[in-house]
Each structure stands twice: as structure tokens, then as C-alpha cells.
């Protein structure tokens, strides 16, 4: 049977009880894992019976049970199809506020995770895997991180690499190591809310640096460094969160020139750096001696991995950060770090990234069609939409909530007085493009 939608038949466990239940369970698992998508046609019941060598009525019973569970629906004369979620199934659940990578086009993340976890457990002593591990990651994990970041960083010695349980932990360790209460931190005027929370927690002074369509202005950055002697500069140079802008190469070179002359370290948050098909060189590749490069897998592969890689300026600096990380989190999760390492070493991470990028490109095209005023990179997972002057963002959020939409506005990202009002619209959270399209149309209506 050559139909792609027949692959799920390989999941049928003949030793798992009545055969009709085994067929039903295999079908249910394939839908849950994403191997079967809404609207796909299942193979004919007689073809299934022939392939499995079972009675036709057994398959009929399994398909009927799947229909009763709401997994499939039939169309007379056309066949049986995987049921799409009804509109009421997703009512009130359209979240455009949380930045997530979209479902990978043509791949099942659940199936990949199951297979890799099983392989890791098969080849590793569970007692060893689940024991305490080096806080900065094993050599294999750090080498995998260097390989993953090579397209943006170039070749990096694993001795400069560290593994962290997520970017937020890495940023907390870095700021606590580099800065003291009352010290100044340069940021973009609209920036990652996690850094705003860290600054408040650590008692840091935020210095918003003026920007244009490519990020911070070098002359303004130079003035801030001269007048306020900041202890660090925090930047998101690729697909900036929330404005979705990307620094060009010349601007990157100017920024590192200013930081180098002022002897102020840069903390480069490159959460989205691997998403572009042709990524620009990271700031850390242009000035490795002054840049701490933080790259999480949460925005490029999956938030559930809770794994980030940090490239330090040198091996000695890496050891200092390892001590700070250990004080905060002791270690990264051994199992998720092992899965991430396996995916990188075996090429699965690049395959998954390509599938996520393809879906992100499709969703960006959808956003450009419905919201032509939105700004977003062609491979990004979010767009920024400026609001008309004087628009009440609080009223907008309330109106969106009445339509079942969750939106996030400039207030959540502001490091100082809000000079640019707008929305960050996340494109990856919804499993189905049709639901995303409906939500974007609702945003278009609300912002007219």
C-alpha cells in the first residue's frame, strides 16, 4: 500500500489485545504524534484488512470506534478522513502572545522525541544518565553546541562552550556575574521581558539605546557608554524580540567596534539566530573576546528541550560562568540535554529546523497577506505591528480577549517610556494555519 497515510499501520500491535483495538490505538497514536494530519484520507477498509490479514468487519469496527471518538469522519463516496478540530474545539485558545516555533512541516516532533529518548535509554545506563552531571555539560554536549552554532559563530573550541537549562538561566547567571546592584545595562527600548524581570530582580539600571530599522544606533551607543559607563550591553541582533528587526553586517561591525573601544562586554541573545536560511555572522564571531553568546533551542526547535548553549570569550571565562550556573541551577536536565545532543550529532536537529523554517515561511506569508503593515523576517516566528498614534493598547487587548485572542502589546517589552506603540504577534503557537489565519483577520479588524 503506497499511500503515505498508510504508514500508521506499522504501529498496529497484534499482541496488544483485540485486533480492532490495536488498529484503533495505532490510529489514535498516529494522529496524536502528528503522523496523520487533519483532512488526510485514510486507506480504504478493505485495503487495510488485506494488508493486516484480518477480517473486513474487524477494520470496520475499528474505523467506527475511531469515528465515535471523534478521530475521523466519513464522507459517502469519498472515504474516511482524519477529523479537523471544530471551531469550538479551539475557541478561546488562540494565543498570539507566546513565541513558539510552529509545528514542523511534514515531521512529527512527538515521534522524533519518542524514538530518540528510547535510543538514549537503550544505549545509556539509566542510573548514570539520571545522576548528577557536570554543570557546564559534558564534552560531547559542548561539542554538539559548537557544531549547532557553527553557521553563525564559525568554529568554536568546546572549552568555550557551556550547556544551560534554558536561556533565562544563562542570562541570570551572566548578569549576576558581570554586574552588581545599581550597575547600568544598555538594552534596546523594546526588549525581551525576561531581561526586564532580571534587571528588576538584580537591581540593575536600564539604559534604552535609540534604534532604527536595523537595531541600536552606533553613535547613540557610543554616547551611552561614554556618559554612563555601563557594565554590559544586551542585544538581540537577529529577528529582534519584539520588533522582528535584524542588524545588517555593517551595523554589527559598528556595534562591536563601539563596545570594544569602550571595553564593555556584549551579551548577545541569539534565540532566533538559526532560523534564517542564510544567517548573518553572530556578534560573537566578529568580536569573540568581548561577546557572551547565548543561543537557546526553545525558539528554533522546541521549548520543551530547555537547553541553551553559551559561547564564552575564552575557556577561563567559561569556567567562571560554569560556577555561576552551578550556583543557580546545578545542571541541565541530563535526558533533554542527551536528546538535544543526539539530534545535533545525527543530523535530526537540522532536519527539524528545516521543517520548522518551512512552516514559519508559510506563516510569515500568511501574515504579510492579512496584515501588510506588519514587520517580520521571512523565516521568523513573530511579527511586529505598529498601532495608530494614540491607540489605547489596553482597550485593544480587552477587545481581543472578547474575541478569544490573547495579545501582547509594547508595555510588556518597554525598558523605559514607550515611544513606539504596537503589537508583537506570535505565529507559531497554533497547530493549524486556518486557526492562525482567522486570528490574524480578527487582529486586522481590531487594528483598523
Residue 103's domain spans which residues? Answer: 89-110+350-446
Task: Determine the 3-state secondary structure of 155 from DSSP.
Answer: coil
Between CA 112 and CA 88 the distance in angstroms is: 30
Domain match, 335 and 356 both: no
Note whether 164 and 292 are same-domain residues.
Answer: yes
Rounded Cα distance, 343 and 144, in Å: 9
- Shared-domain flag, residues 47 and 93: no
pLDDT in tens, 197-238: 999 999 999 999 999 999 999 999 999 999 999 999 999 999
318 and 210 together in one domain: yes
Separation between Cα atoms, residue 150 and residue 184, nearest integer Å: 31
Rounded CA-CA distance 432/241 in Å is 23
User: Domain check: are 239 and 178 in the same one?
Assistant: yes
Q: Are 201 and 179 in contact (CB under 8 A)?
A: no
Task: Provide the 3-class DSSP secondary structure of residue 63.
Answer: helix
Q: Tell me the three cell numbers of residue 296.
A: 537557546
Q: Is residue 248 part of a domain?
A: yes
Q: Is 121 part of a structural domain of the chain?
A: no
Is 205 found in the same domain as 299? yes
Last residue of a domain, one of 324, 347, 370: 347
Q: Per the structure block, which three cell numbers stand in for 356?
A: 520548522
Same structural domain, 355 and 334? no
d(C-alpha 167, C-alpha 161), whole Å: 14
Say which CATH number the domain at 313 has.
Answer: 3.40.640.10
In-domain check, residue 116: no
Quickly tell me which residue has 510588556 as its cell: 412
Q: How many domains does the chain have?
A: 3
- Please check whether residues 181 and 286 belong to one and the same domain: yes
* Residue ranges of the chain with per-residue pLDDT less than 70: 1-5, 16, 75-77, 84-93
Cell numbers of 186, please? 544598555
Q: Assess if residue 420 is contained within a domain.
A: yes
What is each CA distance from 320 to 135, 142, 268, in whole angstroms?
A: 12, 16, 18
pTM score, whole prediction = 0.81
Is 243 within a domain?
A: yes
CB neighbourhood size of 134 (10 A): 15
Query: Is the CB of residue 219 less than 8 Å from the CB of residue 210?
Result: no
**Angstrom distance (rounded) from CA 265 to CA 313:** 10
Amino acid at each position: 500500500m503506497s499511500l503515505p497515510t498508510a504508514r500508521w499501520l506499522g504501529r498496529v500491535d497484534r499482541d496488544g489485545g483485540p485486533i480492532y483495538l490495536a488498529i484503533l490505538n495505532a490510529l489514535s497514536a498516529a494522529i496524536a504524534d502528528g503522523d496523520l494530519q487533519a483532512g488526510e484520507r485514510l486507506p480504504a477498509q478493505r485495503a487495510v484488512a488485506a494488508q493486516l490479514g484480518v477480517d473486513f468487519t474487524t477494520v470496520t469496527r475499528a474505523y467506527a470506534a475511531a469515528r465515535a471518538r471523534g478521530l475521523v469522519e466519513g464522507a459517502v463516496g469519498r472515504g474516511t478522513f482524519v477529523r479537523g478540530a471544530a471551531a469550538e474545539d479551539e475557541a478561546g485558545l488562540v494565543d498570539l502572545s507566546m513565541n513558539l516555533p510552529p509545528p514542523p512541516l511534514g515531521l512529527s516532533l512527538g515521534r522524533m522525541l519518542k524514538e530518540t529518548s528510547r535510543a538514549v535509554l537503550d544505549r545509556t545506563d539509566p542510573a548514570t544518565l539520571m545522576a548528577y552531571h557536570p554543570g557546564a555539560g559534558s564534552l560531547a554536549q559542548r561539542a554538539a553546541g559548537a557544531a549547532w552554532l557553527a553557521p553563525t559563530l564559525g568554529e568554536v573550541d568546546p572549552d568555550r562552550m557551556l550547556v544551560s537549562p534554558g536561556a533565562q538561566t544563562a542570562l541570570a547567571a551572566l548578569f549576576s556575574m558581570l554586574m552588581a546592584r545599581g550597575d547600568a545595562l544598555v538594552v534596546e527600548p523594546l526588549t525581551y521581558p525576561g531581561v526586564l524581570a532580571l534587571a528588576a530582580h538584580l537591581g540593575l539600571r536600564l539604559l534604552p539605546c535609540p534604534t532604527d530599522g536595523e537595531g541600536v544606533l552606533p553613535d547613540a551607543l557610543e554616547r551611552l557608554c561614554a556618559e554612563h559607563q555601563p557594565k554590559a550591553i544586551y542585544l538581540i541582533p537577529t529577528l529582534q524580540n519584539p520588533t522582528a528587526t535584524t542588524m545588517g553586517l555593517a551595523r554589527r561591525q559598528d556595534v562591536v567596534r563601539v563596545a570594544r573601544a569602550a571595553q564593555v562586554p556584549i551579551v548577545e541573545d541569539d534565540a532566533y539566530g538559526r532560523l534564517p536560511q542564510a544567517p548573518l555572522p553572530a556578534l560573537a564571531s566578529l568580536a569573540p573576546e568581548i561577546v557572551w553568546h547565548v543561543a537557546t533551542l526553545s525558539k528554533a526547535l522546541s521549548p520543551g528541550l530547555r537547553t541553551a548553549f553559551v559561547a564564552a570569550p575564552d575557556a577561563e571565562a567559561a569556567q567562571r560562568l560554569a560556577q555561576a550556573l552551578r550556583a543557580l541551577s546545578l545542571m541541565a536536565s541530563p535526558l533533554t540535554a542527551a536528546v538535544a545532543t543526539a539530534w545535533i550529532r545525527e543530523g535530526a536537529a537540522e532536519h527539524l529546523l528545516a521543517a520548522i523554517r518551512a512552516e514559519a515561511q508559510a506563516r510569515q506569508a500568511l501574515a504579510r497577506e492579512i496584515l501588510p503593515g506588519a514587520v517580520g523576517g521571512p523565516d521568523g516566528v513573530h511579527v511586529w505591528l505598529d498601532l495608530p498614534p494614540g491607540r489605547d493598547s489596553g482597550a485593544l487587548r480587552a477587545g481581543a480577549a472578547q474575541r478569544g485572542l490573547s495579545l501582547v502589546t509594547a508595555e510588556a517589552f518597554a525598558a523605559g517610556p514607550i515611544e513606539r506603540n504596537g503589537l508583537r504577534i506570535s505565529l507559531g503557537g497554533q497547530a493549524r494555519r486556518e486557526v492562525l489565519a482567522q486570528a490574524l483577520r480578527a487582529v486586522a479588524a481590531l487594528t483598523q
